């Protein structure tokens, strides 16, 4: 039997609950349905607010061929196969769930099909598309923001389950209180219906659903955590953002949630190594050493003692000064390479293994830094067209101020910041 949330999935926008700012009478998406015209769009909002449902409802209303891909488990190969099928189908709609997880190469592969009108794209994302979707693709899509469902809308969903679902009706339950169900759903319609189904299935037939009954069921059932689903990404996101935000209390709380859900210890440790460089970096270089050592220790020790090691490194990283200067530097450098990747290497920096190369000036006038006082001598290391280009700007932490002082003492105006 399909899950309750799937059994109650609407087929038209009229049946949908919530998002009336988009699908209400006279609103933009209802207007598209009336006019039978659809343009490419990105649906941005938290989990369980109806992004997938809305896409399917739009396709149903237009009677259009509908393809679904998940960015979590689909690559360029699967994407190209769908695009090839869509070329022979007019008005084909391609829905990509978690589109922010598509790499740049995957998004580039999609761009051509959108530009040529082979497919109308509907992308769904829980992340800000301005940061996660390439500019060329984003410029060809309208972004619509979906909102978490309100209390009255969530109550409507429970009432609909009681009135329309045959299995729920066969259980003969009566809902006396909804507050706990709504609280634990967090405005997520799918989570609400999954919780409701879990509660109904756990209680004897003809039971009364109360707040206490809901709490009792949730306490005795395995924590709702799907390591391959959205909650996995939501909790790891909260975990990383808490440490980045220097909150050790929240950091260890989300760590405990990950552990309770059976998350892979090596996955947690790897994310901490990334964070130590991305969010702390040279503000505290020891952070990367701590995180790397913790990853090795976790592999040696295993569960359950690894929880102590992970707790130590989480609280240390959360309590460390923060800097994303190295992260910003490599982003800026990679963006620069996209436009200047063919800039020639200056002659004095080139290797000269043959006489011909030496005669051509390869390596000529190169200054060996260690041959000069303080192991430093000013010379240009960037391509000629990029001289004076600054990519790395140390942050304001005490350690990075030392780096600022060092670079300024050596390079003068070039690294004056």
pLDDT of 287-345, one tens digit each?
Answer: 999 999 999 999 888 778 899 999 999 999 999 999 999 999 998 998 888 888 788 88
175 and 276 belong to one structural domain: no
Distances 152 to 20, 44, 68 between C-alpha atoms, Å:
13, 22, 31
Q: Which residue has the higher pLDDT, 316 or 385?
A: 316
pLDDT of 222 reads: 43
Q: Which domain holds residue 186?
A: 151-220
pLDDT at 186 over 80: no
Q: Which residue among 220, 240, 271 closes a domain?
A: 220
> For the domain that residue 105 is a member of, what is the CATH number?
3.40.50.300
> For the domain that residue 156 is a member of, what is the CATH number?
1.10.8.60
Please classify residue 161 by burial: count the beta carbons closer than 10 Å to its beta carbon, then call 0-12 exposed, 13-18 middle and 19+ buried.
buried
Q: Which residue has the higher pLDDT, 248 or 101?
A: 248
10 domain residue, yes or no:
no
* Residue 197 binned pLDDT confidence (cut-offs 50, 70, 90): very high
Please classify residue 384 by burial: count the beta carbons closer than 10 Å to its beta carbon, then call 0-12 exposed, 13-18 middle and 19+ buried.
exposed
139 and 158 belong to one structural domain: no
Across 18-47, average pLDDT: 91
What is the distance between the alpha carbons of residues 322 and 280, in angstroms, rounded to a whole number? Answer: 4
pLDDT of 229 reads: 52
61 and 137 belong to one structural domain: yes
235 and 176 belong to one structural domain: no
pLDDT at 230 over 70: no
29 and 61 belong to one structural domain: yes
Across 368-376, average pLDDT: 92
330 domain residue, yes or no:
no
49 domain residue, yes or no:
yes
pLDDT at 218 over 80: no
65 and 114 belong to one structural domain: yes
Mean pLDDT is lowest, of 65-69, 109-113, 160-164, 214-218, for 214-218
Average pLDDT, the chain: 88
Question: Is the peptide bond between 304 and the residue preceding it cis, with omega within 30 degrees of 0?
Answer: yes
* Residue 191 binned pLDDT confidence (cut-offs 50, 70, 90): confident
Evaluate whether 312 touches 269 at the Cβ level (below 8 Å).
Answer: no
Q: What is the pLDDT of residues 102-141, one digit of tens each?
A: 888 888 888 888 988 899 999 999 888 887 788 889 999 9
Q: Which residue among 161, 189, 220 closes a domain?
A: 220
30 and 135 belong to one structural domain: yes
Max mean pLDDT range (73-82, 97-106, 326-335):
326-335
85 domain residue, yes or no:
yes
Distances 80 to 55, 95, 116 between C-alpha atoms, Å:
20, 14, 14
155 and 235 belong to one structural domain: no
Structure tokens at 150: 């309100």
311 and 207 belong to one structural domain: no
pTM comes to: 0.55
115 domain residue, yes or no:
yes
Mean pLDDT is lowest, of 159-163, 312-316, 411-415, for 411-415
For the chain, what is the domain count? 3
Q: Which residue among 178, 193, 220 closes a domain?
A: 220
């Amino acid at each position: 039997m399909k899950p309750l949330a799937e059994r109650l999935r609407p087929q038209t926008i009229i049946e949908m609950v919530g998002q009336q700012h988009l699908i209400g009478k006279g609103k933009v998406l209802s207007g598209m349905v009336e006019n039978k015209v659809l343009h490419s769009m990105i649906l941005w909002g938290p989990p369980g607010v109806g992004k997938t449902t809305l896409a399917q409802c739009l396709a149903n209303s237009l009677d259009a061929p509908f393809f679904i891909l998940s960015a979590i488990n689909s690559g360029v190969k699967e994407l190209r196969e769908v695009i090839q099928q869509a070329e022979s189908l007019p008005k084909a709609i391609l829905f990509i769930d978690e589109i922010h997880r598509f790499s740049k190469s995957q998004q580039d592969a999609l761009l051509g099909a959108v530009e040529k009108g082979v497919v109308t794209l509907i992308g769904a994302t829980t992340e800000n598309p301005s940061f996660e979707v390439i500019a060329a693709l984003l410029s060809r899509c309208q972004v619509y923001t979906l909102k978490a469902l309100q209390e009255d809308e969530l109550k409507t969903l429970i009432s609909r389950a009681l009135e329309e679902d045959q299995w729920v009706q066969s259980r003969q339950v009566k809902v006396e209180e909804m507050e706990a169900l709504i609280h634990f759903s967090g405005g997520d319609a799918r989570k609400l219906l999954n919780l409701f189904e879990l509660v109904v299935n756990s209680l004897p037939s003809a039971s009364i659903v109360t707040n206490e009954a809901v709490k009792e069921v949730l306490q005795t059932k395995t924590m709702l955590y799907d390591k391959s689903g959205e909650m996995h990404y939501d909790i790891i996101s909260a975990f990383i953002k808490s440490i980045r935000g220097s909150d050790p209390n929240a950091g260890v709380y989300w760590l405990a949630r990950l552990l309770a859900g059976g998350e892979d210890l090596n996955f947690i440790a790897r994310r901490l190594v990334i964070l130590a460089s991305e969010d702390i970096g040279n503000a505290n270089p020891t952070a990367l050493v701590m995180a790397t050592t913790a990853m090795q220790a976790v592999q040696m020790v295993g569960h359950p003692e690894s929880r102590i090691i992970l707790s130590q490194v989480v609280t240390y990283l959360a309590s460390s000064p923060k800097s994303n200067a190295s992260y910003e530097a490599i982003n800026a450098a990679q963006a620069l390479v996209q436009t200047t990747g063919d800039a020639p290497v200056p002659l004095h920096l080139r290797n000269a293994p043959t006489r011909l190369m030496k005669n051509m000036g390869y390596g000529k006038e190169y200054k060996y830094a260690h041959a000069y006082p303080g192991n430093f001598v000013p010379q240009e290391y960037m391509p000629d067209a990029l001289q004076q280009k600054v990519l790395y700007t140390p942050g304001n932490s005490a350690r990075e101020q030392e780096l600022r002082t060092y670079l300024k003492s050596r390079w003068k105006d070039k690294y004056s910041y």
